[in-house]
Amino acid sequence: MMVDDLARPRIRRREASSPISDPLVSDPLIIDSLITDPLITVSMIAAIRSPSHRHRLLASPWVDYRQYDRPARSSSDARHQHLTGLATTRRNSDSPSCDRTNVTSHRAPGKVRAHEVSEISFKGHQKQEEMSDQKQEQHSESNFLTQFPRGQLKWFFSILAITAAFTVWLLTKDAKGSEIASILSLATTIVSTALTFLMFLYQNTSKGNRKGIPPGNPRRTSRLLVPLAAIVLGAGVPIYYWTEIHKPNSRVTDQMSVFNGKAMHDGGQATITIPGRPPQHDHLAIVLTLTNHADVGDCVRPAKLDITPIIDSTPVIDGRPEQLTSVRPGQEVRLDLSDVTRQAAVLVTLDTPDPSCRVELRVSQAVLYN
């Protein structure tokens, strides 16, 4: 191993103009946005994808709507039409002719009264239809299951892949991902709300053209669960990994305690304790700032801060004690805490050209991350 390699500290510095950009992540914000954004996004894709001229603006792409455009052929549709007609008839049942009409239409032999014949006939017909309906439902369910791998599985995995990829991409962007998610959520929320509103308007104005659409179709509901399941899986698995296994970055700025940092002078030392015994993450990104409370003195800009991590009460960097690195105020420094077994701290030594300077050391930003 080269001497240079030995001397290379495990502290990394970043430019002062870019104070902590990567590890300063607001994970809750990202996850909050991630939970809403993919749902909205995919629902928009589904909404736009479905044929709008058939009054299905926000309908699911998993529903075969062509069946509703055909004349009612299934027992369910027939029953629906029959019941609709019956209801209409019953609403007019005050008229005796209506009863006669029913008797005539369901005539039965023997002593049975005409209206009883009609009722029996209707009940029998209803029973037959219910049995037929159950068969049809079973047939329909089997169709759904058999068609799922061919048509819907493709959509399921497409949405799963898109959602998961988008979620992972946003998570890896850290703070930037949070901002992207926030910005996108506004646009998608506005557009999806507008589309929803338009859909309802369109549905209300085209009721007469959709006699074949049954309200609350169970197949439609069940098929809506497919994209929902894809979204939940696509977003949920990465979020679970990020929060439970990888562990999100932890902003600990307010938990950093600074000792002897109120009025530092040239050569003065302050100690900053890192929360956690040991810290729950492997790295710390920290930005330190100086404040000159006096009206005079050029103290902050020319100052340098010598940083020495103290691992388990011992100033150590890469196994070599008493090594340090210098950063400017406002410049990010990253410390390796992976070897901490009990407690970690940071020793800061002020180096300023003007010995008369008195400055206050503050922790501007601190994030524990893996």
Partner 1 sequence: MSITAGRTRGVLFAALLGLSACQVGGPVTGSAPTSAAPGIFGGPVNAETPPVNVGTLTDQPGFGELIPGSNVRAGFDIDLQRWLGNHAPHRFLPVHVDLTIDDRIRALQEDRVKLVVATFSITDERSKKIGFAGPYMITQQGVMVRAGDDRIQNMDDLTGKTVCTLSGSTSLSQLKEGTLKDQINVIEKKGYKECADQLLDRQVDAISTEAISLEGFAHRDPTRLSVVKNIRFGAQGRFGIGLRHGDVATCEVMTAKLKEFITSGSWDIFFDQHFPGLQSELYKPDPNNLNPCE
Nearest approach, Cβ of residue 141 and partner 1 (Å): 23
Q: Which of 203, 297, 324, 360 binds partner 1 (CB under 8 A)?
A: 297
Q: Is 218 in the site for partner 1 (CB under 8 A)?
A: no
| Secondary structure (H, E, C), the chain | CCHHHHHCCCCEECCCCCCCCCCCCCHHHHHHHHHHHHHHHHHHHHHHHCCHHHCCCCCCCCCCCHHHHCCCCCHHHHHHHHHHHHHHHHHCCCCHHHHHHHHHHCCCCCCCCHHHHHHHHHHHHHHHHHHHHHHHHHHHHHHHHHHHHHHHHHHHHHHHHHHHHHHHHHHHCHHHHHHHHHHHHHHHHHHHHHHHHHHHHHHHHCHHHCCCCCCCCHHHHHHHHHHHHHHHHHHHHHHHHHHHHHCCCEECHHHCEEECCCCECCCCEEEEECCCCCCCCCEEEEEEEEEECCCCCCCCCCCEEEEEEEECCEEEECCEECCCEEECCCCEEEEECCCCCCCEEEEEEEECCCCCCCEEEEEEEEEEEC
Q: Is 263 in the site for partner 1 (CB under 8 A)?
A: no
Q: Is 294 in the site for partner 1 (CB under 8 A)?
A: yes
Q: Is 150 in the site for partner 1 (CB under 8 A)?
A: no
Considering only CA atoms, which of 361, 347, 256, 339 is closest in space to residue 308? 347
Q: Is 300 in the site for partner 1 (CB under 8 A)?
A: yes
Q: Is 180 in the site for partner 1 (CB under 8 A)?
A: yes
Residues 188 to 217: which contact partner 1 by CB under 8 A?
A: 188
Using CB atoms within 10 A of its CB, is residue 127 exposed (0-12), middle (13-18) or buried (19+)? exposed
Nearest approach, Cβ of residue 115 and partner 1 (Å): 50
Residues 13 to 72: which contact partner 1 by CB under 8 A?
A: 16-21, 24, 41, 44-46, 48-53, 61
Nearest approach, Cβ of residue 109 and partner 1 (Å): 53
Q: Is 176 in the site for partner 1 (CB under 8 A)?
A: yes
Nearest approach, Cβ of residue 51 and partner 1 (Å): 4
Q: Is 296 in the site for partner 1 (CB under 8 A)?
A: yes
By beta-carbon proximity to partner 1, the closer residue of 24 and 366 is: 24
Using CB atoms within 10 A of its CB, is residue 305 exposed (0-12), middle (13-18) or buried (19+)? buried
By beta-carbon proximity to partner 1, the closer residue of 76 and 249 is: 249
Nearest approach, Cβ of residue 166 and partner 1 (Å): 8
By beta-carbon proximity to partner 1, the closer residue of 130 and 351 is: 351
Q: Is 356 in the site for partner 1 (CB under 8 A)?
A: yes
Q: Is 224 in the site for partner 1 (CB under 8 A)?
A: no
Nearest approach, Cβ of residue 355 and partner 1 (Å): 8
Nearest approach, Cβ of residue 45 and partner 1 (Å): 4
Q: Which of 184, 195, 198, 233 binds partner 1 (CB under 8 A)?
A: 184
Nearest approach, Cβ of residue 341 and partner 1 (Å): 33
By beta-carbon proximity to partner 1, the closer residue of 67 and 101 is: 67
Give the footprint of partner 1 on this chain (CB under 8 A): 16-21, 24, 41, 44-46, 48-53, 61, 162, 169, 173, 175-176, 179-180, 183-184, 187-188, 292, 294-302, 328, 330, 353-354, 356-357
